[in-house]
Structure 1
């Protein structure tokens, strides 16, 4: 038996870090939305009791380091599943980009195996299990637009993102999320107004959403990486309604209402960055 499933990327519309917790994680408030840039997974049940990853990319691990493997193993061990699975992936989301590609792949694996192994778990139950392997997986399970709190695993669904265009640019550099959090100075930065963002989403106010974007992690990544800062500046220069880094970076995204202006931003960025994408907010309709 086989199943095909999409794993969409996400962007952070707002990302605030409140404080460091006693367990070593940071308490966060993040407003995220899924976008129409997806990896494509195929799950195939195997009679042998093994997990096989077919990734076809040398930069993606095909063993226990991969979140898809960890997701499959989590369900196998928790529910004593004696069947195996082969997971094949057609990768489209840039790796280590601040777009939750790995987390979304893991979420898609959990959803798919929940059906194939007839576990009948709810999204809430899958999300609770997923916290053991990654904080962003819970959001990726729900998708859409949502507020994530705690260490990112507590999900509060919101109204869908208003119609718009999103242009993403991912520079060739890589950024360590762990090192970015380590260098944060929470008492020396301007925090985004999460409540303003939530109000704008509730009223489908795209202009208000653009005005409320903010990401405290930019204070570290932009200071250390001139390329990321330049991409953000170029997006605004070319006519974006707003531009911001997603997650810990290095991907920068622009939100643009009009197609013609989005196309201008997209074309302008192609001269500065090889990986540029023009997409819409995700819709399963």
Structure 2
């Protein structure tokens, strides 16, 4: 697939498996929003449309008048908010719930989530997270690169995928993350597919048998915690030698990162690894810099 930057769901820093961000004040309730990539889904191709995410809300707010979970597509700094979940419950205890919804996987459009409490004096925003993510292409390979080769595949995320029929063959590349968010491993499953292993550093983070009765391209076969940069990721063909002719394949990654944009939040300055050469300014005016961009 060709490298390019896209925007996807919303996340925040480190509590639930998909991360969460907490907004608190001395005179009010606490609230957090976390977003987790849903494993097993088929991502759209070529990298446009929506991906499935679980939005995890945790709050101590008094929601007897109602609390709304809202989502917004962000384009050129404009937020188009809509309510995706509304519920009521008393305060005084911690409430946690999960809402499955979609997030943008479209270039230059990102997704925000916020929690709003309805009070006697009007609506009160409690927490908000905006997200930047990229669809990370499979690394470039040349003939004989560790037993892996690039194939034209019109069902892949961007018409190219990597395949290997040699058990034990491996390719390595730098992690496209800075230690926050998640990585979704994309591959195709099918009757002749092999076993894919993904090592993060020296640890086997995922081992997935891609064999299935029917062919399914662009599938999120594993979801990993994003490692810090620079960390080496190694993709290995772990197919047993008894399954002669079975091919392991790798169609790249979906990387989901985050920044907090909630009430009383402070500006973030994210430093991205050089998986993209672009510099850009996010929708809240927080400068995001890829090394070498200045």
TM over 0.5: no
Q: TM-score range by the shorter chain?
A: under 0.3
> What is the TM-score with the length of structure 2 in the denominator?
0.25
Kindly indicate which of the two structures has a greater share of residues assigned to helix.
1
> What is the TM-score with the length of structure 1 in the denominator?
0.25
Larger Cα-atom Rg: 2
